[in-house]
């Protein structure tokens, strides 16, 4: 292969790879996957508030910046029911959603 043709093939392959990577980045941004778990001492406080509200269970997922409140703690009860507990920035319960039905229980 001539050097000019090899260089053109390398440039074409690089551009194709960049296009694929760019499409993946655009998909990630468009999918809205911007969830951030609760960390630090806030995790302890949010979990305690959520478990007190549900009367038990175990925290299985958390999120800061939830659309229904400042914090969200997903609690799984002993019977397998999942309840999302929405909290304000002071760890006060704003409401709950259960079973993924999207209905407000409070």
Q: How far apart are the first and last CA of the chain?
A: 71
The number of distinct structural domains making up the chain is 2
The answer to whether 82 and 42 are in contact (CB under 8 A) is no
Q: How confident is the model at residue 66 (pLDDT cuts 50, 70, 90)?
A: confident
Express each pLDDT in 82-104 by its tens digit. 999 999 999 999 999 987 433 44
Q: Do residues 94 and 44 both lie within one domain?
A: yes
The answer to whether 73 touches 81, Cβ cutoff 8 Å, is no
Which range of residues forms the domain containing residue 44? Answer: 40-98
Whether 15 has a pLDDT exceeding 60, the answer reads no
Please report which helix (H) or strand (E) contains residue 60, including its range. Answer: strand 58-64
Q: Note whether 44 and 94 are same-domain residues.
A: yes
Segment 16-25 mean pLDDT: 41
pLDDT of 93 reads 97
CATH number for 88 = 3.30.505.20
104 in any annotated domain = no
Q: Tell me the pLDDT band of 67, cut-offs 50, 70 and 90.
A: confident
In degrees, to the nearest 5, what angle opens at C-alpha 64 toward C-alphas 62 and 65? Answer: 135
């Amino acid at each position: 292969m001539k050097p000019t043709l090899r260089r053109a093939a390398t440039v074409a392959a690089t551009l194709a790879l960049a296009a694929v990577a760019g499409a993946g980045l655009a998909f990630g941004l468009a999918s809205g996957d911007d969830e951030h778990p609760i960390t630090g001492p806030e995790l302890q406080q949010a979990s305690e508030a959520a478990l007190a509200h549900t009367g038990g269970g175990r925290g299985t997922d958390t999120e800061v910046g939830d659309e229904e409140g400042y914090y969200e703690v997903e609690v799984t009860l002993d019977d397998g029911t999942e309840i999302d507990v929405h909290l304000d920035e002071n760890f006060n319960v704003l409401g709950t959603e259960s079973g993924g039905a999207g209905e407000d229980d409070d």
